[in-house]
C-alpha cells in the first residue's frame, strides 16, 4: 500500500513536485491507476458526474444499506504522498482483504476517491463530497480557475457531467455511514507514541479572500506620504493575522497566498490579493476572529488610502463525529489491543461535507513529525498495518 502511495505520488501536473488539482490530466491518470487497483480488489468502478472515482461492492442483502469508505485523490501544491491517497488505498485494501478471506457481508460498500477536497483549483473545497451529500450548488459551476476555465468546462473536459451532478446525491439511499482513514497531519500521536486514534470532532473553518486596491506609481518619484501602497496595507494585515492568532487560544489563522500587481521592482504596488484561512474548534470564536481580522484589513487600508474588499469562499462549522460509528471504531481498536485514544482534527476532511448526509467517523494514523501539505509527509508501515486491522474489524462490525 505504501508503494502504491508513492507510485500515485509520481502522478503530478508539475515536473518536480506533487500537485494534482481537480479535473486535470494528472487527476485522470491517477483515477486510471486507482481504478485499476479498485478492480483488482473486486470493486465495480465508475467516474461519477462530479468527477469522483467510485468503487462498488454489492452486499448479500440489498436491504442492508451501504457503507461509504475512502478519502480524496486531489492534492495541494507541492504535496505529500499520503494526505488523501492513504485513506483511499486503505479502503481498497480492506475490500481486497474481505475478498481474499472469502467474506461476503450483507451491506454494500462504496469506496470513494473524492475529486476535490483541497480546493486548490477553484478556491473552494469538498466539491466531490458535497455532490454525494446533495449540497453541490449550481452556482459552483460558474467558478473559474486562474486560467479563466469554468468549473463547468473543466468538469465536461474531464468526463464528468455538470447536468447530472444532482443524481450523484446519496440522500435517497440507505447509507450506514462514512468512515475515512487519514494521516493525523499533526504531532500528537507521535508525542503519545500511538499508531492510530479515533477523531472526536473536526474544527470549523473559514476561507476568505481579501483584495487591497491602492494606486500603482513610479518607485523613484512618488513621495512616501503620497503613496497608496496596496502591498504595505496587505503586509500590515498579514502581520495582524499572526499577532491576533497568538493571542486567542486554539485559534489558527493563515495567509497562504499573497499576490501583488503589477509586480515590478520599480513600481509601487497598486493592488494586492491575500487569502485568509481561519480555524477554531468553537464556531463563535472563529466568527469573532474572522470579524476582527477583516477589521484589521480595513484599518490597514484606511491608513493608506487603500481600498479593501473581501469575500468568504467557504464556511464550515465544526463537525462532531457520529457517536455510534466512532464507538464501533473504538471497539475495533480495543479488539486490536490498542488503548482508547481520541483527537480533534484541525484539518478539514471530506467527512465535513458528508456529515450533512450521514454519520461520519475518522481514524487518524501517526505521521512523521506531524508533517503534512509538504513532500516530507510520511507514515510507518506498521502503523498503516494497524489502521488496516482496525478498519477491517470496523467494516465487519458495521456491515454485518
Ligand atoms: O485545509 C484542510 O484542512 C484540508 O487539508 N483540506
Ligand atoms: Mn486530506
Ligand atoms: Mn490536505
For 74-117, the pLDDT digits (tens) are 999 999 999 999 999 999 999 999 999 999 999 999 999 999 99
* Distance of CA 182 from the midpoint of ligand 1 (Å): 12
Query: Span 384-397, mean pLDDT?
Result: 98
347 Cβ inside 6 Å of ligand 1: yes
Share of the chain above pLDDT 90, in %: 99
Residue 228 grid cell: 497608496
Distance 100 CA to ligand 1 centre (A): 34
Ligand 1 atom with the smallest distance to the CA of 372 is 5
On the question of pLDDT at 297 being above 90, the answer is yes
Closest by Cα among 362, 394, 392, 347 to 95:
392
Helix (H) or strand (E) holding 190: helix 188-191
Determine the average pLDDT of the residues in 204-218.
Answer: 98
Tell me the average pLDDT across 232-242.
98
Distance of CA 277 to the CA centre of its chain: 13
Contact 348 CB / ligand 1 (< 6 Å): yes
User: pTM of the prediction?
Assistant: 0.94
Task: Quick: pLDDT tens for 27-64.
Answer: 999 999 999 999 999 999 999 999 999 999 999 999 99
* Mean pLDDT for all residues in the chain: 97
Of 46, 134, 137, 36, the residue nearest 89 (C-alpha): 36
Which residue owns the Cα nearest ligand 1 atom 6? 118
Per-residue model confidence as pLDDT tens digits over 123-174 = 999 999 999 999 999 999 999 999 999 999 999 999 999 999 999 999 999 9
pLDDT at 43: 98
Distance 277 CA to ligand 1 centre (A): 10
**Beta strands at 217-218 and 267-268: parallel, antiparallel or unpaired:** antiparallel
Task: Encode 79-112: b = buried (16+ Cβ within 10 Å), e = exposed.
Answer: bbbbbbbbbbbbbbbbbbbbeeeeeebebbbbbb
Structure confidence at residue 64 (pLDDT): 97
DSSP tag of 120: T
Give the DSSP letter of residue 339.
P
**Grid cell for residue 295:** 477589521
Which residue from 82, 120, 347, 377 has its CB within 8 A of the most atoms of ligand 1, so it is best to mutate? 347
Cα separation values, 125 from 129, 158, 314, Å: 9, 18, 7
pLDDT at 340 over 90: no
Q: Is residue 341 scored above 90 in pLDDT?
A: no
pLDDT in tens, 264-279: 999 999 999 999 999 9
Ligand approaching nearest to the C-alpha of 71? 2
Amino acid at each position: 500500500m505504501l508503494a502504491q502511495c508513492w507510485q500515485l505520488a509520481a502522478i503530478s501536473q508539475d515536473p518536480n513536485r506533487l500537485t494534482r488539482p481537480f479535473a486535470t490530466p494528472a487527476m485522470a491518470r491517477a483515477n486510471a491507476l486507482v481504478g485499476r487497483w479498485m478492480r483488482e480488489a473486486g470493486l465495480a468502478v465508475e467516474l461519477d458526474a462530479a468527477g469522483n472515482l467510485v468503487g462498488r461492492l454489492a452486499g448479500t442483502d440489498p436491504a442492508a444499506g451501504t457503507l461509504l469508505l475512502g478519502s480524496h485523490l486531489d492534492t495541494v501544491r507541492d504535496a505529500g504522498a499520503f494526505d488523501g491517497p492513504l485513506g483511499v488505498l486503505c479502503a481498497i485494501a480492506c475490500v481486497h482483504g474481505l475478498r481474499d478471506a472469502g467474506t461476503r457481508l450483507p451491506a454494500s460498500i462504496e469506496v470513494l476517491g473524492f475529486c476535490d477536497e483541497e480546493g486548490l483549483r477553484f478556491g473552494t473545497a469538498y466539491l466531490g463530497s458535497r455532490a454525494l451529500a446533495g449540497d453541490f450548488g449550481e452556482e459552483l459551476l460558474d467558478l473559474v480557475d486562474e486560467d479563466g476555465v469554468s468549473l463547468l468546462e473543466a468538469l465536461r473536459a474531464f468526463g464528468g457531467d455538470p447536468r447530472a451532478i444532482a443524481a450523484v446525491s446519496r440522500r435517497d439511499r440507505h447509507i450506514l455511514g462514512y468512515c475515512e482513514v487519514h494521516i493525523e497531519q499533526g504531532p500528537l500521536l507521535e508525542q503519545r507514541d500511538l499508531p492510530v486514534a479515533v477523531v472526536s470532532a473536526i474544527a470549523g473553518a473559514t476561507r476568505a479572500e481579501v483584495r487591497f486596491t491602492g494606486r500603482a506609481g513610479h518607485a523613484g518619484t512618488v513621495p512616501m506620504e503620497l503613496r497608496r501602497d496596496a502591498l504595505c496595507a496587505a503586509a500590515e494585515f498579514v502581520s495582524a493575522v499572526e499577532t491576533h492568532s497568538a493571542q486567542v487560544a486554539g485559534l489558527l489563522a493563515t495567509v497562504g497566498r499573497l499576490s501583488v500587481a503589477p509586480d515590478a521592482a520599480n513600481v509601487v504596488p497598486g493592488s494586492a490579493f491575500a487569502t485568509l484561512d481561519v480555524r477554531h474548534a468553537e464556531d463563535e470564536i472563529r466568527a469573532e476572529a474572522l470579524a476582527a481580522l477583516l477589521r484589521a484589513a480595513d484599518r490597514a487600508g484606511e491608513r493608506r488610502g487603500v481600498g479593501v474588499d473581501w469575500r468568504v469562499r467557504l464556511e464550515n462549522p465544526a463537525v462532531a463525529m457520529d457517536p455510534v460509528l466512532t464507538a464501533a471504531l473504538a471497539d475495533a481498536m480495543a479488539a486490536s489491543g490498542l488503548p482508547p485514544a481520541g483527537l480533534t482534527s484541525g484539518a478539514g476532511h471530506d467527512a465535513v461535507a458528508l456529515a450533512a448526509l450521514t454519520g461520519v467517523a475518522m481514524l487518524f494514523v501517526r505521521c512523521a513529525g506531524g508533517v503534512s501539505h509538504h513532500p516530507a509527509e510520511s507514515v510507518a508501515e506498521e502503523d498503516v498495518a494497524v489502521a488496516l486491522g482496525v478498519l477491517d474489524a470496523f467494516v465487519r462490525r458495521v456491515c454485518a
